[in-house]
Structure formats: structure tokens, C-alpha cells
Amino acid sequence: MSLYASAVKRPVMTTLFFVAVVILGLFSLQKLPIDLYPDIDTNTIMVLTSYSGASAADIEQNVTRPLENTLNSVSNLKHISSKSRENISVITLEFEYGYDIDVLTNDVRDKLDMVSSQLPDDSETPIIFKFSSDMIPIMLLSVQASESMPGLYKILDDVVANPLARINGVGSVSISGAPKREIHVYVDPIKLEAYNLSIETISAIIGAENRNIPGGSFDIGSDTYSLRVQGEFKESTQMQNVVVGSYDGKNIYLRDIATIDDSLEERAQQTYNNGKAGAMIIVQKQSGANSVEISNQITKILPSIQKNLPTDVKLGMIVDTSDNIRNTISSLVETVLYALFFVVLVVFVFLGRWRATMIIAITIPISLIASFIYLFGTGNTLNIISLSALSISIGMVVDDAIVVLENVTTHIERGSDPKQAAVHGTNEVAISVVASTLTLIAVFFPLTMVPGMMGVMFRQLGWMVCIMMIISTICALSLTPMLCSQLLKLNPKSSKLFKLLFTPINKGLDGFDNGYAKLLNWVVTHRFITFLLCMALFLSSLILMKFVGTEFVPVSDNSRLGVKLELPIGTRVEIAEDITKRIYDEWTEKYPEIKVLNYTVGMAGSDNTYASLQDNGSHIISMNITLVDPVDRKRTLTEVADLMRNDLKHYPEFKKTQVNVGGSRGGGMSGQSTIDYEIYGYDFETTDSVAAHLKRALQGIKGTADITISRSDYQPEYQVDFDREKLAIYGLNLSTAATYLRNRINGSLASQFREDGEEYDIKVMYAPDFRTSISDIENILIYNSQGEGIRIKDVGTVVERFSPPTIERKDRQRIITVSTVVADVPMSDVVAASQIEIEKMDLPVGVSINLSGSYEDQQESFSDLSTLALLIVILVYIVMAAQFESYTYPGIIMTSLLFAFSGVIIILWLTNTTLNIMSMIGGIMLIGIVVKNGIVLIDYITLNRERGMGIRSAVVDGGKSRLRPVVMTTLTTILGMVPMAVGTGEGAEMWRPMGIAVIGGLTMSTILTLLFVPVLYCIFASVGVKRNRRHLKKLLLKNK
Amino acid sequence: MKSIFIAFDQAHYENIIELLEKMNSRGFTAWEHVQGRGTKTGDPHYGSHAWPSLASSILTIVDDDKVDKLLQKLKELDDLKPMLGLRAWVWNIENSI
């Protein structure tokens, strides 16, 4: 027994089966975590090799090159790039997306084992480091403090960081901007010399005094006691009374030669939140954990944490990435609901019966909810892609049910019992329903096989839509006939209100049918003109293509800006602080949109995991700006960013400025696109000058901003050149001398001061006043084994030098990258303009320029998507040819693709939207959607012909009777997309191009398909008829 | 004994079985899917792309006195749903085992 016959016979089973599906789906929905994008596996592995004492060039030659040559043979490698700087080589391996990173890591490890013997003996074993998106912080908390500032680090560490780190899924919590406590022993070198003491002696004495030593145990009577010496300092002031030596029989106390400064680290990052000093707490998640869940838990416990803090310490939120996720997802959910409403409305208007509308509408939630089971089963999340899939499908899942319902209704009107009508009516259309689903699957299934980044993004879309289509077909072949058999009646009574409402609608629809029939009649009698007009329209739309710009991914407004400012290398932190304060004052006044402005200056300590991954230094300023939600402000994120870039031009102090939309530069899926111009060439000077030239050229192009050159400047520094011979004369060697130098300037770690279970460093060094000039350094005394003091200036000279920059390589060639952000104009415009500039440049021999960045991503994904489109067209053709058992008809139907293409271009041009991956995906979906109209039309025309009608009357009658179903299914799809296309919620920028493309292409192609396809059919059919006639004539003549 | 051959749109199938049951005529032979076309009017029933509907047919052997009543009932059914189509013919039964 067929599926529909048993479904009609067993309504209870059918109902309960779908109820079970819905319950499972809702259960899955409840468990589904939400996220912004599908899980993107990391595709980057770093190999770090240190070789201390080697210069950048040595590292490049001896470490980086052999490693690169070997690692280059790892499979699925996309790019290999490296940075060789003093002491260390960092190689970054970028793999194609979609491969198991663990397998790749093992491959890399094997290769490293092979090459290790070729590396210099003193170099360390290479370390493999997997970089993942989990390292991007999910939350930044601001801390404002006043009186508690000196002890802030400890307070935050105990009260905030520890509880947060205990939350499930939190990877690490780091505190930046709150300097740690440190006890400095500031020594006066003149007194030191007078008493014949050295930093090393003092450091050793402090270390020896600050100790607890167990003395074993001893027995007194019947008891055993342990013996201990408790010598550790209880307070830092106790140190003052430590005896460090004797002079003329008198004790010299530490207080005589040094001051004890119990304060904070000397070099540390300082953080300001909304102008007030404080700190920043950075929360990173564990790999695979869900940001929204973590953020929910953190927000839940923050109030209780706040209670435990001193009253002057206030916690606030700088960035909560989950905010954006939540808002985006909720605005997309709203879009889906609107789409649902519109689709149901269209069905109701066209069918005019509420029972029929209900039967059809019920397939929407069932198919949609069933797809949640897939998401849950495969461990996916509710994200932009999966929700877009829902929104796209709403208009399409009803189509099958509509076809079935229409045919069942015809049977009932002919006099069949609803039960019989349901079975036989469904039986008649079952094959064409399955075939039309197959054409859609032919479109969406290949999406699951796209390689690269696109594959990661759209695999889920492909699967979701396929699953929903299959479920909706199953639904249309079982639940719909069952409901028809139970709910539909012959000539149902209709109320007065209903008549009042639907008489004009029906009249309008009838008029529409007749008008179309007349137009169609005219068209098929003027085939040639129609053909020419349609083709002219298509060709002229191709001209518009020139004016439609292309880009990679639309910029989405997540209310976040990241600003990175660089002063000339070596600028003191006080100057950076001062200038940042000025910018802060200017911006907070100018931009009322700013909700939080947090900035950090200074060099980060090595124990701050977050900061040490970023560039930092006394001359670098980094800002995190959060604007109010997009609905509450007039200016968009990019507008504010542009204005800020302009403001920064008035500060000549800065060497480099970056205003990053979305928080980080070229962050793949958010933020503005970047174009990287990679200049390959060996010689530093030549490539430097090409880069500088290119930068100037780019500055003249409209739409470029924040142009940066990757190679950093030569860093000025002082070096002490020791004379080895002189050292030897005094019985010294280089490392002893260098250690003396370090202990005096950087400080010698004497011991650790313990308090409340925490340890703080005690550092002995020259007092700050005695390390401010070159002569201070030259006068440093070094003692040899005989106890003689020798001044640095006697054994060496202090010279100013420039340390060479990092050597960057990509794909085994030296490279320097000039990178620009694309602001406000389509990326293609900037690319075209810059290519003209590059042509004009007279490149030296051996130097070449290559474009990458978002541009490379765009090129790759566009070519992937074009191949995909071609594949889909072929698959769809195959499905149709099989259905019609003809090679011509599918060809005729496929001409509607031309008009879909025109439609997409025209609407993109009209709405000033760019061609990006989202609008391209929209275009690809159109292939399946627009051919459906042609199928319905041609199918009915051939049916008319088979029933014995002439070509023209078959076409006109077929067109007239299929107009309503075509317009109805098209309207459901278009209206399903309207909420996407006009959405203004957070993140709407992302899916708007897709909605726009589908609407434009579908509208245009539907209108023209309704005219052009019948014309083409007439032309081909009459050729066929004539051919048959000639053939018959020949046969007749032969027989005579 | 007479034989009645009934050809009809398959939507009638269950109604006719029910009718035979009511008339106490136990024996019949049915073909659920048959193709056919009316002599004068009615859509062809071919189960093809152009004419997707199908017909069924039943051959039943009844006592002579039941024939008229059965034909009358069938006529009523046909009049009720003229679009579907239902025809019946009666033959004599010469012999049987």
C-alpha cells in the first residue's frame, strides 16, 4: 500500500507520528545552544623555534628556511608564512578548511622530527602551537578603582578572576592594567661603591635572610617537638634593618645604602575605563565551549562578586560578544516569524478557505521543527546560517502541500469522497511533487560539498534545506492527504463576512487570469518581437554588471570598534598616556554614541596571556570602544569609524593608526574587508621603497583607510660593545659583565616576599635616578674574582644602534605587506584603481606584488561558488530531462535563469548593494526556485497537447490555468524573503543581500518566464510538428 | 442468474462494494485499476500524464430478481456524482460449475 493510502486509512498513526517528530524537534530546540556562526575548525598551526643569540638574518637562514622547506610538503597546506626575529623563528602554517587539525598536527610533528638534525645545535626543539578562534576573548570587563588601585591586582585575582575561572567552559581569565605588587630595593651606587658592596652581594644577603628553615625534631621528656627558624620577613620594612656588611667595625644596614619601595611593577600596562584608572579583565573560553552560555553564567554571578569587592572598585562591561550573538539571533528569529506570517497570508488569500490554509500552514512548523533534530543530532548550533535556512525554506516547504491540496480539491469537486479524493488526488501528483523536490535538492545538496571556508559556512545551509524539503515532501504525501480526507468538504458554506471579503479578491484574481491570457495570446502571435525584447532586456542588464561592485562579506554592525595607535618606537609611556587622554576627551564629547571607551597603554608583563599575544609596548595604545545598540543611534558603525579616522589625521604624533570596525582588523566574518598587497622580494631596501611608494599610491585612492606596512621600523637601542681583550686582562668574561649590567638596570631577583599565601618579587636595582643617562651606564662597576671594581667604560663602549626588523616570509619568499581597509566603497573599485597604480609603478627586477587578504578570500569563494553554480545547473538539467523525458524542454525552462540573473543584477544596482558571498548564495538558490515555475508551466502545456489541443491553444490555456499556482508559490517565496531583505535588526546587514538578490531575481524571472517560456515552447514545438509532417510526407511518397 | 459488469471511476470503488454487500450479493470479481473511456462523454481514465485518473471494474453474478434493483441503485449513484462516471451492463449466465 502506498504511503498516502495508508496515511489516509490510519489518521491516528499519521497524526501521532508527526506529533512525535514535533516533540523531538522542540526538545532538540530547547537543548540547542546559540552562536553567531557554525563551528569553524581552526586551520592554523604555529611552529616556534628559539635559537638564542642569533640575529634575525641568522634565524632566517639557519632555522626558518630548513623548517619551511620540510614543512612545505605537509598535505593540504595553503600558505606557509614565517617571521624571523632575534632569538626566535615563528612559522605559521595555514591549511585548507575542513581538515582534521589533529591529523595535520601529527603530520607537522613527523616532519619536524625529520628536520631536527639539520637545525643548529644550540637551537631549541621546535614547539607546535595551535591557534584557534577560542583565543579571541569572549568578554572584556572593566574595573574602575580609586583608593584600592595599589592593591587592585590582588583584589581582582582573588575576588573576580578565581570565581570566573571556575565557571564551566571558561578557559582563562587574565587581568590587564592592574600592576602587580613588587618590592624594590633601590640602591644608591655611590654609597655602594663607598662601602665596597655590590648589587649581587646585597641580593644574596637578602635571599639568605629571608628564609624559613626547619631544624628537624627533638624529644623533651615524652613529647617530640619540631624545631624551626622563622626568618622570613613579616613586613617589607623589616628589610631596612638587614645588615649587609661592615665598614670600620660598624654595621652597615640596608637602610644606609638603599630605600625600600614596596609598590608596583615598574613597567606595566595601564588601563582606563571611561577616563578613570582601573583594570580590564579578559575572559577567554575553552575550545568548543559556548560563549552565550558562559556569558549568561558570568552575568549571573557578577552582582555577587561586586558585593565582595571594596566599595570603590566597580565592575562594568566593555565587550560582551554574546550580546551581539543574542541580538542577531533574536532579530533573525523575528524575521523567520514575519516570513511565516506572510506566507500563511498569501496562501489564505489565494485559496480563500481557512481549512485548506490550515492544512498547508501546518507543514511549515513540522518541516522547520524537524530540522532542529538534525542540528541537535550533529552537535550544531542555532546560528545565522541555520536560521537563514529556516527563513529561506518557509516559502518553499508549502509548495508540495499546495500542489497536493489543489488536486485533491479538484477530485472532491468532481464528486469523489474526500477519502478517495485524497488517495487518488495525491497518487496523481506524487511523481511531480517528488521531481520538484529533487530539483531543489539538486541545488542545495551540492552546497554541502563546497570546499574551503564557504563549505564550513554553507554545509549547514545545504543540509538544513535538503532535510526540510524532504520532510515537507513526506508531509505533503502523508499528512496533507490525511488532513484533506478529514477536513475538506464539498462546497463548504461560507459566512457573509467571508463573501464580502473574498468576492473582490476572487474578481481581481479572475481579471488577472484573463488579462494574462490576453497578453499571452498576443505574445505567442508576436513571437519574434517578444523574443527580441526579452533578449534585449537580458543583454542590457549585463551592462549594469559593470556598475555593481563586489566585496567579500558585508560589514555587520556589532557596535564594536578597536582602535590601535602607534607612536614612534620607543616613545615613553607617559607621553602615550597624555595623548590618549586628549583623544578620549575629544571623542567622548564628539560621539555621544560611545557607551564604553576603554584604553590600555604600556608594555604588558609576560604573565598576561591575552596581552602577550597582542602587540604591545610603551608606544602602542589600544582602545576598545563599544557604541550603543544600532537602533538607538543614527550614525552607523562605519560612519563613526570614518569620522574617527579623520580625527586621528589631526594628530601628527602617530606613526600608524587603525580604527577597526567590528573590533579586529580583517576578522574574516565581521569587520571591514582588507586588501593585502604582498610585495615579494629579497632585498630589504628595494622592497621597503616599493612598499612606501605603494602606500603613497594607495592613499590617493578613494575608499582606502588605515594603510599599514607590515615591516616594522628599525628599532633604536643602546648596545654595550665589550672589548674581549680588555675583559680578559681584568679576569672577566662577557657573560659576567652582561649579568652585572642586567642586575643594575633590570634588577636582580633577590627573594620572594610572602604574605597571605601570595608571593611578591623582591628586586634589588639601581634607584631610578641613577639609570637615566649613558654615563650612568658607563660608570657601572663590575667586580672580578679578585674583588677589583672595573667600570664599564674601561672595558667597552656604549653605542646607539638600530636593530633590524623582523624578517617576514610567505610561501618561502621574503615579503612585506601593505594592507588597507576598504571603507564605504565596494572592494572591487579599490582593487581596480590600485591595479592601475601598480601597473604604473616601475617594479625593480625580482620584486612582485600579489593581492591577498579579504580579496584573496573573495576570489577563492567566488570561484568556488561559480563552479558550484555550474554543477547545480547541470544537476537541475538532469533532473528535469529525466522528468520530461526530453532534452529540449529543460533547455527552454532553463532560459528563465537568464532573467533571474538579470533580475539579481538590476536589483543589486537599484538598491546599491554589492555582489558578495551572501548575494551569490541567494543567486545560487534562485536556480532551483525559478526553474520550478517553468516546470509547472511546461508540464501543463504538454498535458494539454497530449489531450489533443493545438500548440497555441495548449500554451494559452495552460498558461491561464497555471498562472495562479505559479504566482502563489512565487509570492510565498518572495514574501518569505521580504523580512530578510528589509530587516534592520542587529546583524541584518549580513543576510540582507541574500534576501534582496532572491527577491529581484525571482520577480524578474517569474514575470519573464510567464511570457518567454511559452514563446520558446511555441517556436520549438512548431519546428517539431513541421519536422514530423515532412517525415510523414516522405513516408507517404515512398509508399506511393 | 445474470452477470453485471460495472465500470466506474475508482473513487466509486468502496461505495459499490458496500452496495453489493447491502444487496446481499456475495460474489464478485473486481479489477481495481483498469483503463477506459466513455462512448460519448466523460474524461478518459488512462492513468497517464495527460489523463491521470483511473477506473475500476467489477463483475458480479446475481439472481435475476436482484438485477433491476441493483441497476437502479447504481443509476442513483451515477446521478449523484455525474462527473465521475459509472456504467453497468447485464449478461445472461449460460452455465456454471
Identify the bridge partners of residue A223 per DSSP, sorted by sequence position.
Answer: A220
User: Is the Cβ–Cβ distance between A937 and A1009 less than 8 Å?
Assistant: yes
Say yes or no to pLDDT of A896 above 80. yes
- A613-627, A798-812, A935-949, range with the lowest pLDDT: A613-627
Chain B residue with minimal CA distance to A413?
A: B83
Residue A616 confidence (pLDDT): 66
Residue A620 confidence (pLDDT): 84
What percentage of chain A exceeds 90 in pLDDT?
A: 17
Q: What's at B28, amino acid-wise?
A: F
Residue A605 confidence (pLDDT): 56
Contact residues on chain B for A415, CB-CB shorter than 8 A: 11, 80-84
Most A CBs within 10 A among B14, B33, B53, B77, hence the mutation to make, goes to: B53
Contact residues on chain A for B84, CB-CB shorter than 8 A: 414-416
Averaged pLDDT for residues A218-230: 89
Cβ neighbours of residue A91 closer than 8 Å, sequence gap 6 or more: A46, A47, A48, A49, A64, A67, A68, A71, A80, A81, A82
Say yes or no to pLDDT of B74 above 90. yes
Averaged pLDDT for residues A401-414: 89
Report CB contact under 8 Å: B48, A946. yes
Average pLDDT score, chain A:
86
The minimal CB distance from B11 to the residues A420, A942, A943 is found for A420
User: Is the Cβ–Cβ distance between A848 and A681 less than 8 Å?
Assistant: yes
Residue A146 confidence (pLDDT): 83
Report CB contact under 8 Å: B9, A943. no
Report CB contact under 8 Å: B50, A947. yes
**Distance of alpha carbon A513 from alpha carbon A789, whole angstroms:** 108
Q: Phi, psi (5° rounding) for residue B58?
A: -135, 135
Strands B2-9 and B55-62: antiparallel
For residue A592, CA distances in Å to A368, A627, A635, A722 come to 42, 9, 10, 57
CATH: 3.40.50.720, 3.30.70.120, 1.10.10.60, 3.30.110.40. Which one for B2-92? Answer: 3.30.70.120
Contact residues on chain B for A943, CB-CB shorter than 8 A: 49-50
Cβ neighbours of residue A703 closer than 8 Å, sequence gap 6 or more: A822, A823, A824, A825, A829, A830
Q: Which stretches does DSSP call E strand in B1-97?
A: 2-9, 28-34, 55-62, 86-92
Contact residues on chain A for B10, CB-CB shorter than 8 A: 420, 424
Identify the bridge partners of residue A183 per DSSP, sorted by sequence position.
Answer: A262, A762
Most B CBs within 10 A among A2, A424, A939, hence the mutation to make, goes to: A424
Residue A1 confidence (pLDDT): 66
Say yes or no to pLDDT of A372 above 80. yes
Maximum Cα–Cα distance across chain B:
43
Chain B CB within 8 Å of residue A345 CB: no
pLDDT band of residue A917 (cuts 50, 70, 90) is confident
| Per-residue pLDDT tens over the stretch A548-565 | 888 887 877 778 888 888
Q: Which helix (H) or strand (E) holds A960?
A: helix A951-982
User: Is the Cβ–Cβ distance between A523 and A952 less than 8 Å?
Assistant: no
pLDDT band of residue A133 (cuts 50, 70, 90) is low
For residue A434, CA distances in Å to A51, A111, A427, A441 come to 66, 52, 11, 10
Strands A44-50 and A258-264: unpaired
pLDDT band of residue A115 (cuts 50, 70, 90) is confident
Report CB contact under 8 Å: B84, A428. no
Query: Domain spans of chain B?
Result: 2-92
User: Is the Cβ–Cβ distance between A268 and A180 less than 8 Å?
Assistant: yes
Chain B residue with minimal CA distance to A421?
A: B11
Averaged pLDDT for residues B77-94: 90
User: Is the Cβ–Cβ distance between A797 and A720 less than 8 Å?
Assistant: yes
Averaged pLDDT for residues A198-216: 87
Averaged pLDDT for residues A833-845: 87
**Distance of alpha carbon A346 from alpha carbon A337, whole angstroms:** 14
Residue A194 confidence (pLDDT): 86
| Per-residue pLDDT tens over the stretch B14-37 | 889 999 999 888 889 999 899 999
The minimal CB distance from A415 to the residues B49, B50, B81 is found for B81
Say yes or no to pLDDT of A269 above 70. yes
**Distance of alpha carbon B41 from alpha carbon B82, whole angstroms:** 11
Report CB contact under 8 Å: B54, A947. no
Cβ neighbours of residue A675 closer than 8 Å, sequence gap 6 or more: A819, A820, A822, A827, A830, A831, A834, A851, A852, A853, A854, A855
Identify the bridge partners of residue A260 per DSSP, sorted by sequence position.
Answer: A185
Q: Per the structure block, which three cell numbers stand in for A978? A: 521580504
Return the closest-CA partner of residue A164 out of A273, A289, A302: A302
Give the distance from residue A8's alpha carbon to the nearest chain B alpha carbon, in angstroms.
14
| Per-residue pLDDT tens over the stretch A744-793 | 888 888 888 888 777 888 888 888 888 888 888 888 888 888 878 888 88
For residue A71, CA distances in Å to A93, A123, A195, A923 come to 8, 18, 59, 40
Say yes or no to pLDDT of A280 above 70. yes
**Distance of alpha carbon A761 from alpha carbon A764, whole angstroms:** 10
User: Is the Cβ–Cβ distance between A686 and A597 less than 8 Å?
Assistant: no
Chain B residue with minimal CA distance to A943?
A: B50
Say yes or no to pLDDT of A728 above 60. yes
Contact residues on chain A for B54, CB-CB shorter than 8 A: 424
Return the closest-CA partner of residue B60 out of B11, B26, B31: B26
| Per-residue pLDDT tens over the stretch A33-74 | 888 878 776 788 888 888 876 778 888 888 999 999 999 988
Cβ neighbours of residue A500 closer than 8 Å, sequence gap 6 or more: none
Most A CBs within 10 A among B8, B9, B54, hence the mutation to make, goes to: B9
**Chain B interface with A: residues with Cβ < 8 Å:** 9-15, 48-54, 80-84
**Distance of alpha carbon A256 from alpha carbon A190, whole angstroms:** 12
Separate counts of helices (H) and strands (E) for chain A: 33, 30
For residue A76, CA distances in Å to A102, A453, A771, A861, A1009 come to 13, 14, 53, 17, 44
Contact residues on chain A for B15, CB-CB shorter than 8 A: 417
Residue A148 confidence (pLDDT): 81
Other CB atoms within 10 Å distance of the CB of residue A246: 10
Other CB atoms within 10 Å distance of the CB of residue A983: 21
Residue A723 confidence (pLDDT): 86
ipTM > 0.90?
no
Give the distance from residue B70's alpha carbon to the nearest chain A alpha carbon, in angstroms.
21
**Distance of alpha carbon A55 from alpha carbon A240, whole angstroms:** 43
| Per-residue pLDDT tens over the stretch A520-555 | 999 888 888 998 999 999 999 989 888 888 888 787
For residue A133, CA distances in Å to A130, A281, A287 come to 10, 19, 8
Give the distance from residue A418's alpha carbon to the nearest chain B alpha carbon, in angstroms.
9
